[in-house]
């Protein structure tokens, strides 16, 4: 088994309770006896919320676009390049960088990204983007 498999589980009384125990059992039975495996445990984080995404596009990107006259999609691309870590892609021996994706951000990372853009817009252009609570 050389592929990476992720299973969702909850910790209860010091034990892992898999979200889909049947799938976990089937995967375990596919492992050869005495074969070593690597188990990585990390906290599950939630992807950005729909409200975060609506605020990002409806308040932040739309405001910067309106104030600067730059197309919304271009503002979005510029912000990704400025504030997100690029992803490295590989194919057929070639490697290249692409801007990070907001769709892959968790809720905490999305809030950080939003705060960075709001601060940048205020400093760079004097644009005051409304708070999320006001939007």
Q: What is the CATH number of the domain that holds 108?
A: 1.10.3790.10
> 123 and 73 share a domain?
yes
Query: Do 80 and 123 belong to one domain?
Result: yes
Verify that 73 and 91 share a domain, yes or no: yes
Question: Region 103-114: what's the mean pLDDT?
Answer: 94
Q: Are residues 27 and 88 in the same domain?
A: no
pTM as predicted: 0.68
**Chain centroid to CA 27:** 27
pLDDT at 1 over 60: no
What's the domain range around 127?
50-134
Indicate if 60 and 19 belong to the same structural domain.
no
Q: Give yes or no for a contact between 100 and 87, defined as CB atoms under 8 angstroms apart.
A: yes
- The predicted-structure confidence for 29-81, as pLDDT tens digits, reads as follows 988 899 898 888 888 778 899 999 999 999 999 999 999 999 999 999 999 99
Check whether 106 has a pLDDT greater than 60.
yes
For 126, the token pair is 């004097």
CA distance 71 to 46: 30
Above pLDDT 90, what percent of the chain? 65
């Amino acid at each position: 088994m050389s592929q990476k498999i992720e299973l969702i589980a909850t910790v209860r009384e010091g034990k892992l309770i898999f979200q889909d125990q049947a799938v976990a059992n089937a995967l375990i039975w596919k492992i050869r006896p005495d074969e070593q495996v690597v188990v990585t445990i990390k906290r599950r984080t939630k992807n950005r919320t729909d409200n975060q995404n609506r605020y990002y596009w409806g308040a932040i990107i739309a405001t910067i676009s309106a104030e600067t006259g730059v197309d919304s999609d271009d503002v979005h691309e510029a912000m990704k390049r400025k504030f997100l870590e690029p992803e490295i892609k590989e194919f057929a021996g070639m490697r290249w960088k692409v801007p990070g994706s907001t769709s892959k951000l968790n809720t905490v990372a999305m809030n950080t990204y939003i705060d960075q853009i709001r601060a940048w817009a205020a400093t760079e252009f004097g644009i005051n983007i409304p708070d999320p609570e006001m939007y």
